Amino acid sequence: MSGKDKGGIMSKLAETGQHIRSSQAWSSIFRPGSPFRDGYSDTPRNRSYVIMNNVLYHLHPVKVKRHGVRLSYTLCLGGLSFFLFILLTITGIFLMFYYRPTSPQAFLDIQALATDVTFGQVVRNMHRWGAHAMVLTVFLHMARVFYHGAYKPPREFNWVVGIVLLLLTLLLSFTGYLLPWDQLAVWAVTVGSNMGRYAPVIGDQVSFALIGGTQITPDTLLRWYVLHVLFLPFVIVIFMAVHFWRVRKDGGISGPL
Amino acid sequence: MAGLPEHLLRRSAEAKAKATGRPVEEILAELKGEAPPPAAGAPSAGSGPVRDLAKESADLGVPEDLLRRAMIARAKKDGTPIPGEPGAAPVAAAGTAPVAAGSPAPIPTIPEGVRTQRLLTVVKAGAIQQTKREPADKVNTWPHLLAIEFVALLVLTGLLFVFSIYVDAPLLEFANFNQQPNPSKAPWYFLGLQELLSYFDPMVAGIIIPGYGLAGLAFIPYLDRNPSVRPSDRKLAIMIFTFFVMGAAILTTYGSFFRGPGFNFTFPWVDGIFFDF
Ligand code: HEM
């Protein structure tokens, strides 16, 4: 009796689901070929449709070279760099809710993450370890591209774009390093930015503009915060867009060796 | 004209007739390739070098009648006789020309307000994108690539999350500008440079080496002109790159773990690790 009743509810649910999936609103959201549409079947045509009718079409072509999807070719390193960037954006936005770029509040806010904020510490950890990991994956990605000779024509320019991305990644990491405003942060940044001061002609000026004075002060904190959460992510996203676009325009992943 | 529908041809012929004052039917026949254009009537086939249009058409992938038109047009422009074709009968080439040979139709002035258009050329379709069409072995992005990416994303997030549960990010005391920790180290990715600073003048270690290093890195594709991607053909390039990568790795490790108070040499297993992530 009860089993029969349950079946009734289930079939009602299924019916409702079907009804929703065949509604005009639903099919206006999911374009043809989407697995979320009513009656998706795994056909070659639908496999193409999934990409063609998807925002991912901006990143991926419908078909890719078979050797390019082998993990042993790219080691997923470029992709991992990108995923890490996305994770860093998400965790970074979370951290921004609890962080004020002033002294001493910056330090106290970071401290409070461990005690006062649900998941605060773990999100901070993810942001920090993720940032270090990204420096590493970007570097390894560069090495893998080199060893494959994947910078050779027609991909020369994408290598140069890659170098810009490497620099931007380092700058993002370096500007973020100051934000906890503890002894580690200010002295690591002091040592690091002192190196740039020796540049001929412009060294002093560049260093003055970046640090916002002749030495690190709370003004530096605000300046680097804005660079870290706004300016550098904005620039790196633009360069990533060019990078991904060029990967496709240059004929996809470089050929097998 | 292969492939063009009759009514389009007729429209084009009518427009041309209006503009030039010649009969529509004549132009139409000409467009269809049934008759050569008037000025081309005179020279008989076979008076020039022989061209095998059928073969060229097969070789180039251009329809034969387009090739013939191009040939006639070029001959007309240069004032040379039209090259013959091995298969073409002389009658077909010249016989049906309605305009008397040697007296080209007077070029009529185009009435005011009439615009004439010409189909200049037919360009063979080709990709705008720079792709070499190798016989590629391809798979569908969905599901093959997307599935891998999705799993990679999950694994990465999972690993990072678990690691972050167990290992806390460092947070030392509140910033104090009067008390420099000893040693003071830059973030790890700059420690190779800091290590260099302890050997060389800051101008050399801080500017020249990283500056030239970076420029050299960026210009690799323009310096390495060797087109081969086979490792066995690139021994020198691989050697140089590996040399620099290993050098950077060694300097970084050295600066990270083998430098203690005063940035003096230590063994990490003796004096402990003076390094924070
Ligand atoms: C934020 C940093 C970066 C991101 C997110 C990124 C992302 C990617 C992705 C997703 C690919 C597709 C293939 C793969 O996964 O290996 C790729 C390819 C490529 N990347 Fe990067 N990349 C970055 C930095 C760099 C750097 C530092 C270089 C070199 C200096 C570089 C040079 C290239 C080149 C030449 C290709 C084409 C490789 C091929 O066709 O096999 N990229 N990049």
In chain B, which residues have their Cβ closer than 8 Å to the Cβ of A216?
Answer: 177
* pLDDT tens-digit readout, B70-92: 888 888 888 877 776 655 444 44
pLDDT for res A228: 97
Nearest CA residue ID for atom 17, ligand 1: A78
For ligand 1, residues with CB inside 6 Å are A 74, 77-79, 81-82, 138, 141-142, 145, 148, 150-151, 155, 158-159, 162-163, 165-166, 169, 240, 243, 247, 253-254
Percent of chain B with pLDDT strictly greater than 70: 78
Tell me, letter by letter, the H, E, C secondary structure of chain B.
Answer: CCCCCHHHHHHHHHHHHHHHCCCHHHHHHHHHCCCCCHHHHCCCCCCCCECCHHHHHHHHCCCHHHHHHHHHHHHHHHCCCCCECCCCCHHHHHHCCCCCCCCCCCCCCCCCCCCCCCCCCCCCCCCCCCCCCCCCCEEEHHHHHHHHHHHHHHHHHHHHHHHHHHCCCCCCCECCCCCCCCCCCCCHHHHHHHHHHCCCCHHHHHHHHHHHHHHHHHCHHHHCCCCCCCHHHCHHHHHHHHHHHHHHHHHHHHHHHCECHHHCECCHHHHCCCCCC
Average pLDDT in chain B: 81
Question: CB A183 to CB B173 under 8 A?
Answer: yes
Residues of B numbered 115-134 whose beta carbons fall under 8 angstroms of chain A's beta carbons: which are they? 129-132, 134
In chain A, which residues have their Cβ closer than 8 Å to the Cβ of B137?
Answer: 65-67
pLDDT for res A219: 92
* Domains along the sequence of chain B with CATH: 182-271 (1.10.287)
For the segment B55-71, the average pLDDT, to the nearest whole number, is: 84
Nearest chain B Cα to A135, which residue? B189
Q: For A32-36, A156-160, A199-203, B102-106, which range has the lowest pLDDT when averaged over its residues?
A: B102-106
Q: Is the pLDDT of residue B106 over 80?
A: no
Classify residue A55 by burial, with Cβ atoms within 10 Å: 0-12, 13-18, 19+: exposed
In a mutational test of the A interface, the residue from B185, B188, B189 whose CB has the highest number of chain A CBs within 10 Å is B189
Confidence of residue A42 (pLDDT cuts 50, 70, 90): confident
Confidence of residue A205 (pLDDT cuts 50, 70, 90): confident
Question: CB B224 to CB A173 under 8 A?
Answer: no
Nearest chain B Cα to A82, which residue? B153
For the segment B223-234, the average pLDDT, to the nearest whole number, is: 92
Q: For A250, phi and psi rounded to 5 degrees? A: -80, 10
Nearest CA distance, B59 vs chain A (angstrom): 27
Q: How far apart are CA A130 and CA A121, in angstroms?
A: 14
User: What end-to-end distance do the CA atoms of chain A give, in Å?
Assistant: 66
Q: Is the pLDDT of residue B261 over 50?
A: yes
Nearest CA residue ID for atom 6, ligand 1: A78
User: What end-to-end distance do the CA atoms of chain B give, in Å?
Assistant: 74
Q: Is the pLDDT of residue B41 over 50?
A: no
* pLDDT tens-digit readout, B45-55: 444 567 788 88
Question: CB B131 to CB A64 under 8 A?
Answer: no
Confidence of residue B96 (pLDDT cuts 50, 70, 90): very low
Q: Which residues are A65's β-sheet partners?
A: B138
* Domains along the sequence of chain A with CATH: 75-249 (1.20.810.10)
The larger pLDDT score, comparing residue B57 to residue B131, is at: B57
Q: Is the pLDDT of residue A69 over 50?
A: yes
Cβ–Cβ contact B199 with A under 8 A: no
For the segment A82-97, the average pLDDT, to the nearest whole number, is: 97
In a mutational test of the A interface, the residue from B184, B230, B233 whose CB has the highest number of chain A CBs within 10 Å is B184
Percent of chain A with pLDDT strictly greater than 70: 97
- Answer positive or negative: Cα dihedral of B155, B161, B165, B169: positive
Q: What is the pTM of this model?
A: 0.75
Question: CB A60 to CB B146 under 8 A?
Answer: yes
Q: Is the pLDDT of residue A179 over 90?
A: yes
Q: For A67-81, A154-168, B239-253, which range has the lowest pLDDT when averaged over its residues?
A: A67-81
pLDDT for res A38: 76
Of B225, B251, B247, give the one whose Cα is nearest residue B236. B225
Q: What ipTM does the predicted assembly reach?
A: 0.89
* pLDDT tens-digit readout, B120-162: 776 666 666 655 555 668 888 888 899 999 999 999 999 999 9
Distance A147 CA to ligand 1 centre (A): 13
Residues of B numbered 202-231 whose beta carbons fall under 8 angstroms of chain A's beta carbons: which are they? 202-203, 206-207, 211, 214, 217-218, 220-222, 224, 227-231
Q: Is the pLDDT of residue B105 over 80?
A: no
For the segment B259-277, the average pLDDT, to the nearest whole number, is: 89
* pLDDT tens-digit readout, A143-173: 999 999 999 999 999 999 999 999 999 999 9
* pLDDT tens-digit readout, B169-220: 999 999 999 999 989 999 999 999 999 988 988 888 888 888 899 999 999 9
Question: CB A146 to CB B241 under 8 A?
Answer: yes
For the segment B2-21, the average pLDDT, to the nearest whole number, is: 82
Average pLDDT in chain A: 90
pLDDT for res B130: 57
Q: What is each CA distance from A192 to A155, A178, A185, A212, B263, in whole angstroms?
A: 33, 11, 10, 15, 14
Q: Which residues are B265's β-sheet partners?
A: B259
> Which residue among A47, A56, A146 sits closest to B140, beta carbon to beta carbon?
A47
Cα–chain-centroid distance for residue B69? 33
pLDDT for res B86: 58
For the segment A179-183, the average pLDDT, to the nearest whole number, is: 96
Question: CB A195 to CB B202 under 8 A?
Answer: yes
Q: Is the pLDDT of residue B95 over 70?
A: no
Count of CB atoms situated within 10 Å of the CB of A254: 22
**Cis peptide before B83, with omega less than 30 degrees from 0?**
no
Percent of chain B with pLDDT strictly greater than 90: 38
Residues of B numbered 146-175 whose beta carbons fall under 8 angstroms of chain A's beta carbons: which are they? 146, 148-149, 152-153, 156-157, 160-161, 163-165, 167-175
> Which residue among B144, B169, B180 sits closest to A69, beta carbon to beta carbon?
B144
Answer whether A147's CB lies under 8 Å from A162's CB. no
In chain B, which residues have their Cβ closer than 8 Å to the Cβ of A203?
Answer: 207
The set of residues, in sequence order, having a beta carbon less than 8 Å from that of B120 and lying 6+ positions away, is none
In a mutational test of the B interface, the residue from A54, A191, A249 whose CB has the highest number of chain B CBs within 10 Å is A191
Nearest CA residue ID for atom 2, ligand 1: A165
pLDDT for res B10: 86
